[in-house]
Amino acid sequence: MLEIVILIVFIALVFDFLNGFHDAANSIATIVSTRVLSPSVAVAWAAFFNFIAAFAFDLHVAKTIGKGLVHIEAVDIYVIASGLVGAIIWNLLTWYLGLPVSSSHALIGGYGGAAVFKLGFGSLILSGWIKIILFIFIAPMIGFLLGFINMFITTWIVRNKKPRKIDNVFRKLQLISAAFYSFGHGTNDAQKTMGIIVGVLVSANYLDHFYVPFYVVIMCHAAIALGTLFGGWRIVKTMGMKITELRPIGGFCAEFAGATTLIGTALFGIPVSTTHTITGAIVGVGSTKRLSAVRWGVAGRIVWAWILTIPFSALCGGITYFLLKTFFKI
């Protein structure tokens, strides 16, 4: 049993690493596309703030993932392992295609799909799923509104300044906003893997009740930070260049909007998508120029990827559970 638990915890940390790898684009897209930092320096900057978020907030999101989505009788190490594998498969596929989908929703979908294949839809806690599905739409809307408002107010404040001076000032300020966003990314996303790992430890009786040990916190933040450090360039181009053109002032406003949304929802234990949030914020910033400044075809392709993430990762998780059950007679 111990060997299986260690293997599943390792898979969870691999997922956390891939979360950082896949979602590195969210943290650095604006700061790279506005040429404030090179990609290599930007990912190091983001990774550092991903890690130090470990020492900042309560673990409300981890509790939602670990206790608020699937009834405890449906949870075992095989369900959790299947959910993780399903999420990893979907993450790698969409990374290859350059689609900025949500690693968080891939994890949630894979986990839920495996539970459904085990005990049916009655294994799901409906209230938890309603909250997550609602915030698929609410989180990017909040990001959009905050991005639009931030950009509108900021451009009004600097309306009489020379463009070159504005760029120089906001290139420096983007270092702060990118750090703030990476801090929010680490706070929200690392906690999702914590919830899964604690679920493994509880189901295997290594913990007698649900709480998150400090060593789990450190492991998860280290894994997501390392993933961010090695993150890819494919999705950065989609997020930071193809949706709308960004100048430093726009990158600053989008990052602050995204970070505010992420940290606010984390405080209420709502596991939202960093991808959805920053995309909404970027679109909101672009919309202050004119609606045609947003490349709606690219935005539409991204939205379809969002909608398909939970059902397809659930299918991947469910099929993985079915294969484990078939070949290992669990």
Whether 126 and 261 have beta carbons less than 8 Å apart is answered as no
Q: What is the pLDDT of residues 62-85, one digit of tens each?
A: 888 888 899 888 888 899 999 999
The per-residue DSSP string of 128-174 comes to: HHHHHHHHHHHHHHHHHHHHHHHHHHHHHHTTTS-HHHHHHHHHHHH
- What's the pLDDT score for residue 297? 62
How confident is the model at residue 103, as a pLDDT?
78
- Higher per-residue confidence, 202 vs 297: 202
CB atoms inside a 10 Å sphere around CB 38? 12
pLDDT above 70 coverage of the chain, percent: 87
Long-range pairs for 262-268: beta carbons < 8 A, 24 or more residues apart: 262/181, 262/184, 262/185, 262/187, 262/188, 263/57, 263/183, 263/184, 263/187, 263/188, 265/135, 265/139, 265/188, 266/57, 266/60, 266/61, 266/184, 266/187, 266/188, 266/191, 267/57, 267/58, 267/60, 268/60
pLDDT of residue 41: 81
Higher pLDDT, 272 or 146: 146
pLDDT at 299: 61
With 80 as the cut, is the pLDDT of residue 105 above it? Answer: yes
pLDDT band at residue 311, thresholds of 50, 70 and 90?
very high
Give the lowest-confidence range in 63-77, 229-243, 246-260, 274-288.
Answer: 229-243
Whether residue 243 is predicted with pLDDT greater than 50 in this model: the reply is no
For residues 45 and 225, what is the distance between their CA atoms, to the nearest angstrom?
10
**pLDDT tens string 160-178:** 888 888 888 988 898 898 8
Spans of all domains in the chain:
2-328
What pLDDT is stored for residue 241 in this prediction? 47
Query: Per mean pLDDT, which of 22-26, 52-56, 81-85 is the most reliable?
Result: 81-85
Residue 292 has pLDDT above 60, yes or no: no
Whether 39 has a pLDDT exceeding 80, the answer reads: no
Buried b / exposed e along 122-138 (16+ C-beta atoms within 10 A): ebbbeebbebbeebbeb
Task: Give me the chain's average pLDDT, please.
Answer: 84
